[in-house]
C-alpha cells in the first residue's frame, strides 16, 4: 500500500461542508494507494457538476471536460496509452442524463475504463433541478409540485446492456466503497460503481440511505447470476450495496484492439511511415 498523502492536492474541494463527495474522494485515494498505482499513472476524466469537480482535488492527471462526456475522453486516452489507469468520475446528470449513451456503448464494447458515478439524485451545481435518478414525487425547482416523471434505474439498465461489472456503493461507507473501487479497477474491462453520494444542500438522502442500505456480502448473492443481480437492482424497499454482477470472461475492447493493432505508449511513436508502410499507404492511389 502506498501512502495516501501521495494523492493529496493543495486545492481544497469547493464542495459544501458535509457533501457526500468527500467520502468518495477518500475512497478513491484509498483504493489507488491500496492498489499501489502511482499518481502519475492515473488519469481521472470528469464532466461538469459538483461531482465532476473531482480532478484537482486529488493529485493525479485530470481532465475536467464537458458535461456528460467523461467517458469518451477516457476511452480515447486509454486507447492511446493502455498503461494508464483511467477512471471516469462524474455526476448522475453527467452520466445518467446527457451522457448516458456513452455509458451504454462504453459498457457494451467493454472498454477498460472505470466509471464512478457520484449519484446524489439531483443536479447539484446548477442549483438542484430534477435529475434522471430523482425519485418520483421529488420536489425540486423544476418539479415544484413534485415530480411525476419515472426515474432511470441505471443498474438494471446496465445489466440489460450486459455490462461486465456492476456495483453500488455509498459515500458514507468509505471502506466498503474503496473495496468496490479496487475491484472495479482490477476488473477485466468496463466497470461501473454507482455511488450514492448525498447532496446536503439540495437532496440530503443520508438518513434515507443509512436506514435502508444493506451489503450484498451479508446475503447469499451470486454475482454471476444475472437474474439475481436484476432483482437486487430493482429493490425499492431496501438499498443493496456491493457488487451486483461481474463477468470476467469477455476480453476488453482494449485487449481485442491491442491484439490487432498493437497500440503502444504514444510519445515515441510519432514518426513518419517506414518505406514499407509508404507503399501500403499509397497502394490505393493507382
Ligand X SMILES: Cc1ncc(C[n+]2csc(CCOP(=O)(O)OP(=O)(O)O)c2C)c(N)n1
Residue of the chain from 92, 95, 112, 254 that contacts Mg ion (CB under 5 A)? 92
Tell me how long the chain is.
286
Expressed in angstroms, the distance from the first to the final Cα of the chain is 59
Is there a contact between 252 and 112 (Cβ–Cβ < 8 Å)?
yes
Grid cell 468527500 — which residue?
Answer: 22
Least distance between other proteins and beta carbon 46 (Å): 9
Site residues (CB under 6 A) for ligand X, limited to 107-146 = 118, 120, 122-126, 131
92 binds, among a copy of itself, ligand SF4, Mg ion, none (CB under 5 to 8 A by kind): Mg ion
By C-beta, is 6 or 125 nearer to ligand SF4?
Answer: 125
14/68 Cα distance (integer angstroms): 20
Query: DSSP readout, 243-257?
Result: EEEE---SPPHHHHH
Pure H helices in 54-145: 70-80, 92, 100-109
Is there a contact between 137 and 146 (Cβ–Cβ < 8 Å)?
yes
Cell numbers found for residue 87: 477512471
Q: Which stretch binds a copy of itself (CB under 8 A): 13-21, 40-48, 144-152, 273-281?
A: 144-152
Binding flags for other proteins, 132-171, as an x/- string (CB under 8 A): x--------xxxxx---x----------------------
Q: Which stretch binds ligand SF4 (CB under 6 A): 12-20, 38-46, 206-214, 243-251?
A: 12-20
200 belongs to the binding site for ligand SF4 (CB under 6 A) = yes
Q: Which residues bind ligand SF4 (CB under 6 A)?
A: 15-16, 19, 21, 50, 120, 124-125, 199-202
Amino acid at each position: 500500500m502506498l501512502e495516501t498523502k501521495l494523492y493529496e492536492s493543495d486545492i481544497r474541494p469547493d464542495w459544501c461542508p458535509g457533501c457526500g463527495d468527500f467520502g468518495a474522494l477518500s475512497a478513491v485515494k484509498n483504493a489507488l494507494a491500496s492498489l499501489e498505482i502511482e499518481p502519475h499513472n492515473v488519469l481521472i476524466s470528469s464532466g461538469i457538476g459538483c461531482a465532476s469537480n473531482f480532478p484537482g482535488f486529488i493529485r493525479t492527471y485530470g481532465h475536467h471536460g464537458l458535461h456528460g462526456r467523461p467517458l469518451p475522453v477516457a476511452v480515447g486516452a486509454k486507447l492511446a496509452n493502455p498503461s494508464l489507469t483511467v477512471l471516469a468520475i462524474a455526476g448522475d446528470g453527467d452520466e445518467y442524463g446527457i451522457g448516458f449513451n456513452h455509458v451504454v456503448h462504453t459498457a457494451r464494447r467493454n472498454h477498460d475504463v472505470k466509471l464512478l458515478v457520484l449519484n446524489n439524485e439531483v443536479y447539484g451545481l446548477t442549483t438542484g433541478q430534477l435529475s434522471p435518478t430523482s425519485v418520483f414525487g421529488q420536489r425540486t425547482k423544476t418539479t415544484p409540485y413534485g415530480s411525476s416523471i419515472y426515474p432511470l434505474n441505471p443498474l438494471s439498465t446496465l445489466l440489460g446492456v450486459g455490462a461486465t461489472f456492476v456495483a453500488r456503493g455509498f459515500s458514507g461507507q468509505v471502506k466498503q466503497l474503496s473495496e468496490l473501487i479496487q475491484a472495479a479497477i482490477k476488473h477485466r474491462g468496463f466497470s461501473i460503481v454507482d455511488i450514492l453520494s448525498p447532496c446536503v444542500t439540495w437532496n440530503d438522502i443520508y438518513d434515507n440511505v443509512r436506514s435502508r442500505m444493506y451489503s450484498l456480502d451479508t446475503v447469499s448473492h451470486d454475482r454471476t447470476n444475472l437474474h439475481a443481480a436484476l432483482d437486487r437492482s430493482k429493490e425499492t424497499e431496501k438499498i443493496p450495496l456491493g457488487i451486483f454482477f461481474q463477468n470476467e470472461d469477455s476480453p476488453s475492447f482494449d485487449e481485442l484492439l491491442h491484439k490487432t493493432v498493437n497500440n503502444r505508449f504514444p510519445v515515441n511513436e510519432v514518426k513518419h511511415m517506414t518505406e514499407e508502410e509508404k507503399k501500403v499507404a499509397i497502394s490505393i492511389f493507382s
